[in-house]
Structure 1
Amino acid sequence: MTETRGRVRHRRRRTALTVGAPLALAAAGALAYGGAFGLFGGSGQQSASAATVAAWTNDVADGFASVDALGQNGTYGGRGGKTVTVRTLADLEKYATAAEPYVIVVAGTIPVNPVGKEIRVASDKTIVGSGTSGHIVGGGFFLGPGVHNVIIRNLTIRDAYQGVWNDKDHDYDAVQMDGAHHVWIDHNDLRHMADGLIDVRKDSTYVTVSWNRLSNNNKTFGIGWTTNVVTDITIHHNWLRETEQRNPSTDNAARAHLYNNYLEDTPGTDITTAYGNYSRGKTRMVLENSYFQGVRNPVIRDSTAVLVQRGNVFSGTGGRNESGGGTAFDPRSSYAYTLDKADAVPGLLRAGAGPRPSIGTATTAAAPAAAAAVKTLTVAKSGAQFTSVQKAVDAVPANNTSRVVISVAPGTYRETVKIPANKPHVTIQGSGGSRKDTVIVYGNASGTPKPDGSGTYGTGGSATVAVEADDFQARNLTITNDFDEARNQHLDGHQAVALRTAADKVLLDGLIVNGDQDTLLLDTAAKDRLGRVYVTNSYITGNVDFVFGRATAVIDKSVLTLKKRWNGTSAGYIAAPSTPANRRGFLINRSTVNGDVSARSFHLGRPWYAGGDATLHPQVTVRDTTLSDAIKTAPWTDMSGFSWKGARFAEYLNTGPGAGPAGTDRPHLTPAQAADQEVADWLAGWTPTAS
């Protein structure tokens, strides 16, 4: 920022930052750097091929499948391995059973022979349908003991039915797992099989089942077949329609979290539901914001089981509707999640469950023309078109109308980079196996003199990377400002920006943005201009106002790491918004705040009325986020004579030792208010899509 906010001076520690696999974002407790994988699974590698620039390639599991356990860091499937397209059963089996990781794209209909065969799947695989074209007919998949890190997604698996409704002779399932862990089953259409649609058996655990259509079957979804009580499973946003039993039947599950599912029994058909959600044996189940329509016995439990209900809707149901047996568990102690309103679930799932045209394809349905026109420029220390990132930016034509990807090879690029306003649609993308492999770094500060003697850089001018062009994207990079504050105490102005954005529709995915004071400046081109920014799957480090500016910005599924100041003390502020009135500010959502700092030493934020402009109305909402004990019990504070109570600061459903109850010094949103403060509300019609 251009003003000095108090006498806050500190410097970046001079130890090397290594970022590999943190604990999964949704897991309980503080996250840490280290290990071999990226934050949300795999190496985070982005290749230059058309198939890997689509948004779906960066998707990873939520729920229990995202939790670090059993030596596995979340669930990301074959991400980082080769992408192959298959159209035959032989090729599908070849790659599904391979030892190395693969992303296997099923393009077309694959008949399974013999009927009922279950294709064995090895660890570290993504099997994904290409748009709505990927069909497996007459068979399914089997995940055996110890198989882990598997994604089965966007497929239609159907028609192994042998003509007997309650078939006792043919164990033909769509997906069966016996002793597997870290599995994500998402956006599939599963129907008309001889036995079950999904069987989670024999101590399989850390499983998430989301956004599927399950229909036209007798035994839908069974969990258990074990006397052990170890299975942890999340089941959310699934549409179960015309299914008789096991919807699901959950036996001896340690933790079963079901939310925002839609169970529908249509009257006048040959299929009548026997029961809905069933908590059996020693299961502990939490059931939230689901919608039951026309279902007999919608919720039942054994006397030995625990079942906690909240927020569900029952329309035209009858028979058993039960809960009780204890307090179950708190899902938010393991991962963050956001509930949709129960009465919105039917419409939401009719529109969104099952295979999507934009998943598994090289281009997205929303912007095929732009994706097809991508031009790639390469940067490396040698053997590429350009030796610096700025030289590649300079080569982008002014007022370009289509995407230009600047692919930057692993290495450290000590330079400043500016993307001017007349060069939109630029992507800067590291081509290494991890976001830490490609580093853009410089060390200017606000008070650093310019070489030409024309003054100092100022806060905005100190940025290592400055983005002034709309529709900018950055992926798989580290962007750092390594200004050494201890050695520059003589300078007046220690704000040192790593990344500045002053544009609209900016997507930052899979980054490390590293600094101390004023690390990430999320701004707009002018006070009256909109500047939407979506940050996801990223790390941001700092200590004083290290996320600041007047942009409308979402920080989602990311880690904000608090750092000590240059002299070893712990004190600071995460956010300093300067939001214009009638516009949204910062939303920190489904993220984690951690860091090696003293307990109760950091504020969540303070209001920045830039230049003393009292017409501003700063806003920060922190929701569904895990807060370490570094956060003060009164997490907001004043700034430059302006009270934080005149700003729009609030929390909602945060967890962790730094979270706290609502009070005068700690505003919380009501559920009704929170419903109007979701990611979509911030982005206002813009859907960020990697391209």
Structure 2
Amino acid sequence: MKTNTLLASALLSFSGLLAGCDTSSPTPAAPAAPVSSSADVEATCTAQGWASQNGGTNGGGTATPTIVTTYDQLKAAITNSAVKVVQVNGTIIIPSGGRISFQDQTNKTLFGSAGAKLVSADQTQAGSGIIYVKRCSNIVIRNLVFEGPGAYDVDGWDNATIDACTRVWIDHCEFRDGVDGNLDFKNTADLITVSWTKFAYLKAPRPDGPGGSDDHRFSNLVGSSDTSTGDRGKLSITFARCWWAQGCVARMPRVRFGKVHVVNNLFGSSVSTSGVMAGLEANLLIQNNVFENMNRPIDLMANNATAVQATGNIFTNTTGNTAGNGKTAFTPPYTVSVLSASSVKATVTASTGAGATVGGNTCASSGI
């Protein structure tokens, strides 16, 4: 009996050790992952790239997360400025017209545990979209899949829009099948880093939309129009170690006005008509990326960009323009570790590479 007692005690102690282990280790997200009931408070890092400027970006830091598993819980936590860290567990369906307005807040993190998704099935103009982030500062969005119903040209909403925000870090997310776009930036949004994030369209585009495009798989818009001249001096964005995957047709990204650093990314959509697009007064540094099976990897459009500097890139089985416009782009005011282009594909497609692959609020595999 004494031996059995000791054995039971040992097993209980071992179970306690397991319960205290860090459940946010950077393992690939799995759709069938069990839903965690424990709060993940690991992340302590700050953003690199443009989001490192003017005080840096670390969101809600190590505040204890509010765990959400339903739409009502998610909306309540996002709209409550007293909640500083929101942890999404499992798949949450955004109801028709339920796009969440995340406005006028500071110092907040929204992240997903392994396999977490926010999903919208609405393709109407008014009811589409997942989240609209406006007039916020020091925001982190990490390890979440944003899944829309597919592209349909109804002048609808993106999966996510960043509007008039500063110091935003989007890290290890996946945006796919947005109605209008996957992830857009507008109205003086500034000091933003998008790292280790994947963009894709897995669903066929819906034709015959009133906007006129039968294939609106246009992923990322930076600057909403040529007349939005208030964007001059803003829209400073770093895209680093991201992946524009199959299904993306254009806007990877399409840039107006901004100083945008496109560094160490993978582009690989055989249905593309344009990759990086240089619009009015765009100032683009396109550095050490890989373009595969792309048409017009660098689109100079109307040749009215301020500067398009393309350096160190690899082009494989591409057609169309691969060069800049002969003008030198801005010099980034920050330092990042720039990989050789030959290392980019393996790095971006690794198990903890681009996408919602880190399984929680962890800084592991988030450096650039």
Calculate the TM-score normalised by the size of structure 1: 0.41
Residue equivalent to 2:269: 265
After superposition, give the CA deviation of every residue in 1:393-443 in whole Å (9 maximum; x if it has no partner): xxxxxxxxxxxxxxxxxxxxxxxxxxxxxxxxxxxxxxxxxxxxxxxxxxx
Paired-residue identity, %: 27
Residue equivalent to 1:181: 166
Counterpart of 1:105 (choices 84, 87, 103) is: 87
After superposition, give the CA deviation of every residue in 1:451-510 in whole Å (9 maximum; x if it has no partner): xxxxxxxxxxxxxxxxxxxxxxxxxxxxxxxxxxxxxxxxxxxxxxxxxxxxxxxxxxxx
3-state secondary structure, aligned to 1:328: coil
Residue equivalent to 1:153: 142
Is the 8 Å Cα contact of residues 39 and 64 (structure 2) preserved in structure 1? no
Question: Which amino acid in the other structure matches residue 114 of structure 1?
Answer: S
- CA offset at residue 118 of structure 1? 3.9
- CA offset at residue 189 of structure 1? 1.4
Is the 8 Å Cα contact of residues 61 and 208 (structure 1) preserved in structure 2? yes
The aligned runs of 1:180-579 (5 Å cut-off) are 180-216=165-201, 218-225=217-224, 226-227=228-229, 228-229=231-232, 230-242=234-246, 243-253=248-258, 255-266=259-270, 272-301=271-300, 302-305=302-305, 306-331=307-332, 334-351=333-350, 352-360=353-361
Question: Which amino acid in the other structure matches residue 231 of structure 1?
Answer: L
3-state secondary structure, aligned to 1:95: helix
**Distance in 2 between residues matched to 1:182 and 1:86, nearest whole Å:** 25
**Distance in 2 between residues matched to 1:342 and 1:308, nearest whole Å:** 16
Task: Specify which structure has the higher proportion of strand.
Answer: 1
**Distance in 2 between residues matched to 1:236 and 1:199, nearest whole Å:** 16
Calculate the TM-score normalised by the size of structure 2: 0.76
- CA offset at residue 341 of structure 1? 1.5
3-state secondary structure, aligned to 1:58: coil
Question: Which amino acid in the other structure matches residue 329 of structure 2?
Answer: A
After superposition, give the CA deviation of every residue in 1:70-113 in whole Å (9 maximum; x if it has no partner): xxx21111114331111011111111112235111101110001
Closer/same/farther in 2, CA of residues 160 and 124 from structure 1, 3 Å limit: farther
Counterpart of 1:65 (choices 31, 40, 51) is: 51
Residue equivalent to 1:124: 107
Is the 8 Å Cα contact of residues 303 and 325 (structure 1) preserved in structure 2? no
Counterpart of 2:61 (choices 59, 72, 79) is: 79
- CA offset at residue 52 of structure 1? 5.4
Does 2:93 correspond to 1:114? no
Closer/same/farther in 2, CA of residues 53 and 108 from structure 1, 3 Å limit: closer
**Distance in 2 between residues matched to 1:356 and 1:323, nearest whole Å:** 33
3-state secondary structure, aligned to 1:65: helix
Superposition CA RMSD, Å:
2.2
**Distance in 1 between residues matched to 2:341 and 2:97, nearest whole Å:** 39
Does 2:133 correspond to 1:143? yes
3-state secondary structure, aligned to 1:317: coil
Find the structure with the greater CA-based Rg.
1
After superposition, give the CA deviation of every residue in 1:41-81 in whole Å (9 maximum; x if it has no partner): xxxxxxxxx74563xx113211101101xxxx211111143
Is the 8 Å Cα contact of residues 222 and 253 (structure 2) preserved in structure 1? yes
After superposition, give the CA deviation of every residue in 1:541-599 in whole Å (9 maximum; x if it has no partner): xxxxxxxxxxxxxxxx9xxxxxxxxxxxxxxxxxxxxxxxxxxxxxxxx9xxxxxxxxx
Residue equivalent to 1:527: none
**Distance in 2 between residues matched to 1:246 and 1:104, nearest whole Å:** 30
How many aligned residue pairs are there? 296
